Amino acid sequence: MPSVKIPKKSTFVDMTPFVDVAFLILTFFIMATKFKPEEPVEIKTPNSVSTKDLPDSDALQVTFDSTGRVFFSVLSEKDATVKYNVIKHMNDTRNLNLTEAEMRNFVKAPAVGVPFSGLKQLLAVPAEEHKNYKQPGIPLDTLGGELYYWIRDAVGTFTGKQLKYLIKGDNEAKYPAFKQVLNAFKKNEIFKFQMITALEDVPAGSELDIIRKRQKAEGN
């Protein structure tokens, strides 16, 4: 039979370089990933042209969502005892009657947004389940409300450290909510804040754009 015999070629493809690259990418992502702490509410922050980085330690953060609920958290990436000291101090000054386990639970909790009266109840729930726990927010009024005490007592435990005050607000939150948060800080004689925003490009040709370009040119 006149048939042409096609030589059978191996179907093996050497995947080694491909695998190498894949694992390289995998390594990159593992290194670059920083799990953001789970927060009890989702906040969409506004944009700004500011380029200052967010501190991860020695900072108090007040978060308010679109409905005006206010949450309080202590950022202490480097040293967890800081957070423990805060709640211990709170427990003493506000007579919260928290148990040791509940205070340890506070350290694990990302943020709290309950009145003092409801704090014991919240901390009885494991920190991992806080996001399913409906938190009403820290009560506020024009004089600062309970947030005033949170800030005062937290500041009291940070001695000899430069504390930063972060405010994280939702795009849709109304201005009075923001003002009340500011008032609580102001009553504590704190006038310097950092508002958490997302990075945005500087509009081309604006005054700031010209200044930044000049600074860059001078720096080189």
Partner 1 sequence: MASIEEGGGGGHKKGPGVKKAKKLSTHLDMTPMVDLGFLLITFFIFTTTMSSPTTMELYMPKDTDKDDEQNKAKESGALTILLSKDNHVYYYEGQLKEDASNFLSTNFAGIRKVIIDKRKAVIEAHQHDAGCEKIWAKNNGDKKSCLDKDLVVVIKPGELATYKNTVDILDEMTITNTKRYAMVDLFEAEKTLIDKTEGR
Chain residues binding partner 1 by CB under 8 A are 11-16, 18-19, 22-23, 25-26, 29-30, 32-36, 45-55, 64, 166-167, 169-178, 182, 185-186, 189, 191-200, 202-203, 206-208, 211
User: Which residues in 59-87 are b (16+ Cβ under 10 Å) and which e?
Assistant: bbbbbbbbebbbbbbbbbeeeeebbbbbb
Q: How far apart are CA 137 and CA 65, in angstroms?
A: 9
Nearest distance from C-beta of residue 120 to partner 1, angstroms:
31
Q: How far apart are CA 184 and CA 179, in angstroms?
A: 9
Nearest distance from C-beta of residue 2 to partner 1, angstroms:
35
- Compare residues 109 and 177 and give the one whose CB is closer to partner 1: 177
Nearest in space to 154 (alpha carbons), one of 178, 188, 187, 119 = 188
- Compare residues 124 and 143 and give the one whose CB is closer to partner 1: 143
Nearest distance from C-beta of residue 163 to partner 1, angstroms:
14
- Compare residues 106 and 148 and give the one whose CB is closer to partner 1: 148
Nearest distance from C-beta of residue 4 to partner 1, angstroms:
28
The helix/strand/coil state of 62 is: strand
What is the four-CA torsion angle of 148, 39, 46, 153, rounded to 10 degrees?
A: 20
Q: How far apart are CA 71 and CA 134, in angstroms?
A: 12
- Compare residues 129 and 207 and give the one whose CB is closer to partner 1: 207
Nearest distance from C-beta of residue 27 to partner 1, angstroms:
10
- Compare residues 156 and 176 and give the one whose CB is closer to partner 1: 176
Q: How far apart are CA 148 and CA 195, in angstroms?
A: 18
